[in-house]
């Protein structure tokens, strides 16, 4: 940079990209990563505030992961300033460089695995059946365990009194440690993706909606590509003559992997995916949604939402009765359903006594309260999302011939009664 010719009024750049100094690339990649993650987090926050008015554990987890990513990026910038991505002969403070770079790797593990937990917590929120919830909880525990193991594998390397030293240090097993961390990373991502298939296997929804849901979670699998490239550079750099300069490609793929992992946590919150999740059952669709968004707008839940009433399509049975499934307020939707049977019109007239008998004979209301409904969204403040719930009702009624005979018998008795 000393040979760089500057015109009056210009200040020297932060870094000049040359064959022996790639720090400028690292500055640009890190800054772009921070901007991308910040935009993604703002979009997710907007969706939550505008349409959901609530936060879940998955939101808290992704917030923590984003904070850890900011710290990791700051450490990368400091390590770059100290000489990462620069030839070893130009490094002035090698000890500070190695300590900072070591710390950035630890925060890389923390941010990455916290984002995995956030993804699994979102899947848990979408799980309706007990078996799905138990499976997701088991995967969360398994992922947490592998995350702790990965952190220890990266933290405890070579000389435990100076684990950050990697220049001039001959240590066996470093490549194997990073290979194990990468294997754990891929296994947990595939396990989380398999849970989505397991949940959607028996769900009766349109194929395009299933595709939208799977695509939303499959976006996260893109992080396997930079992960594999990163691992290749780590292994090849173990015997490098200029280890500080060769770390530039490792840093680029590290930041790329983290950005993909964090952005992928927001993709399932966007309109195409949530429009597919919205099935008008449970908390996923209670209230007003925006253009197919499945997150409920809860601002009217305590007021107008309870006054909401939606009668399903009326079906005319063969005996002339209207069979209607009446859906009550949003808060009562998941707790019980009413089946109302009532005559559309009467074909005879008579005195009050006969009308009372007729109404008693033909009008009935059956209410069934399902225990499964209480398990899903029994409370009015439930946040659980149900992808689909099918309720099948069997209504028994007399045939038209039997009904006609009963009517004729009553009419005959009525006609034979003495009249005043």
CA-based nearest residue to 284, from 130, 59, 127: 127
The Cα-based distances of 39 to 35, 107, 264, 330 in angstroms read 6, 21, 12, 34
Q: Is the pLDDT of residue 344 over 60?
A: no
Residue ranges per structural domain of the chain:
22-273
Q: What are φ and ψ of residue 319, in 5° steps?
A: -95, 15
**pLDDT on residue 359:** 41
Q: At what angle do helices 207-218 and 174-200 cross, to 10 degrees?
A: 160
Sign of the dihedral through C-alpha 115, 121, 127, 129:
positive
Lowest mean pLDDT among 132-136, 267-271, 357-361, 378-382: 357-361
How deeply is 151 buried, as exposed, middle or buried, from its count of CB atoms within 10 A (0-12, 13-18, 19+)? middle
**pLDDT on residue 250:** 95
**pLDDT on residue 146:** 97
Lowest mean pLDDT among 345-354, 391-400, 407-416: 345-354
Give the Cα separation of 79 and 39 in Å (integer): 25
The Cα-based distances of 120 to 81, 249, 256 in angstroms read 36, 30, 21
Q: Is the distance from CB of 248 to CB of 84 less than 8 angstroms?
A: yes
pTM to 2 decimal places: 0.65
Domain 22-273: which CATH number of 3.30.1370, 1.20.1070, 3.30.450, 1.10.8: 1.20.1070
The Cα-based distances of 417 to 62, 351, 414, 420 in angstroms read 79, 12, 5, 10
Instruction: Tell me how far apart the terminal alpha carbons of the chain are, to the nearest angstrom.
Output: 118
Give the Cα separation of 226 and 178 in Å (integer): 14
Q: Is the pLDDT of residue 401 over 70?
A: no
Assign 3-class secondary structure to the chain.
CCCCCCCCCCCCCCCCCECCECHHHHHHHHHHHHHHHHHHHHHHHHHHHHHHCCCCHHHHHHHHHHHHHHHHHHHHHHHHHHCCCECHHHCCCHHHHHHHHHHHHHHHHHHHHHHHHHHHHHHHHHCCCHHHHHHHHHHHHHHHHHHHHHHHHHHCCCCCCCCCCCCCCCCCCHHHHHHHHHHHHHHHHHHHHHHHHHHHCCCCCCHHHHHHHHHHHHHHHHHHHHHHHHHHHHHHCCCCCCHHHHHHHHHHHHHHHHHHHHHHCCHHHCHHHHHHHCCCCECCCCCCCCCCCCCCCHHHCCCHHHHCCEECCCEECCCCEEEEEEECCHHHHCCCEEEEEEECCCCCCCCHHHHHHHHHHHCEEEEECCHHHHHHHCCCCCCCECCCCCCCCCCCCCCHHHHHHHHHHHHHHHHHCCCC
For the stretch 115-161, pLDDT in tens is 999 999 999 988 888 899 999 999 999 999 999 999 999 999 888 88
Give the Cα separation of 394 and 234 in Å (integer): 64
**pLDDT on residue 332:** 35
pLDDT grade, residue 387 (50/70/90)? low
The Cα-based distances of 162 to 53, 158, 167, 170, 370 in angstroms read 48, 8, 12, 13, 62
**pLDDT on residue 18:** 87
Q: Is the distance from CB of 223 to CB of 207 less than 8 angstroms?
A: no
Give the Cα separation of 69 and 62 in Å (integer): 10
More confident call, 359 vs 414: 414
The whole-number average pLDDT for the span 227-234 is 95
């Amino acid at each position: 940079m000393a040979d760089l010719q500057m015109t009056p009024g210009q200040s020297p750049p932060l870094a000049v990209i040359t064959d022996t100094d790639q720090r400028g690339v690292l500055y640009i990649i890190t800054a772009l990563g921070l901007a991308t993650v910040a935009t993604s987090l703002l979009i997710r926050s907007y969706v939550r505030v505008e349409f959901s008015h609530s936060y879940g554990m998955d939101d808290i987890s992704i917030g923590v992961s984003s904070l850890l990513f900011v710290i990791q990026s700051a450490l990368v910038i400091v390590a770059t300033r100290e000489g990462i991505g620069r030839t070893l002969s130009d490094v002035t403070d090698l000890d500070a460089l190695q300590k900072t770079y070591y710390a950035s790797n630890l925060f890389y593990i923390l941010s990455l695995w916290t984002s995995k937990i956030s993804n699994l917590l979102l899947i848990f929120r979408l799980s309706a059946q007990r078996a799905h919830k138990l499976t997701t909880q088991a995967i969360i525990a398994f992922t947490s365990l592998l995350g702790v193991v990965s952190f220890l594998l990266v933290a405890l390397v070579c000389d435990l009194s100076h684990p950050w030293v990697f220049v001039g240090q001959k240590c066996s097993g470093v490549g194997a440690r990073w290979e194990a961390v990468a294997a754990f990373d891929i296994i947990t991502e595939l396990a989380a993706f398999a849970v989505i298939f397991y949940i959607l296997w028996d769900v009766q929804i349109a194929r395009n909606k299933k595709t939208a849901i799977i695509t939303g979670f499959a976006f996260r699998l893109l992080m396997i590509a930079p992960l594999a490239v990163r691992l290749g550079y780590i292994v090849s750099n173990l015997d490098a003559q200029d280890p500080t300069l060769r770390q530039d490609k490792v840093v680029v793929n590290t930041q790329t992997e983290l950005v993909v992992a964090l952005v992928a946590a927001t993709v399932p919150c966007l309109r195409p995916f949530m429009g597919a999740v919205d099935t008008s059952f449970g908390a996923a669709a209670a209230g007003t949604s925006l253009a197919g968004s499945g997150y409920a707008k809860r601002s009217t839940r305590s007021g107008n939402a309870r006054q909401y009433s939606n009668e399903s399509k009326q079906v005319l049975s063969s005996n002339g009765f209207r069979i209607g499934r009446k859906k009550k307020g949003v808060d009562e939707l998941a707790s019980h359903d009413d089946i109302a049977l009532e005559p559309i019109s009467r074909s005879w007239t008579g005195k009050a006594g006969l009308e009372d008998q007729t109404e008693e004979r033909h009008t009935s209301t059956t209410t069934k309260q399902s225990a499964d409904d209480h398990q899903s969204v029994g409370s009015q403040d439930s946040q659980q999302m149900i992808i689909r719930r099918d309720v099948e009702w069997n209504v028994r009624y007399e045939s038209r011939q039997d009904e006609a005979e009963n009517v004729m018998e009553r009419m005959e008795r009525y006609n034979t009664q003495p009249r005043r």
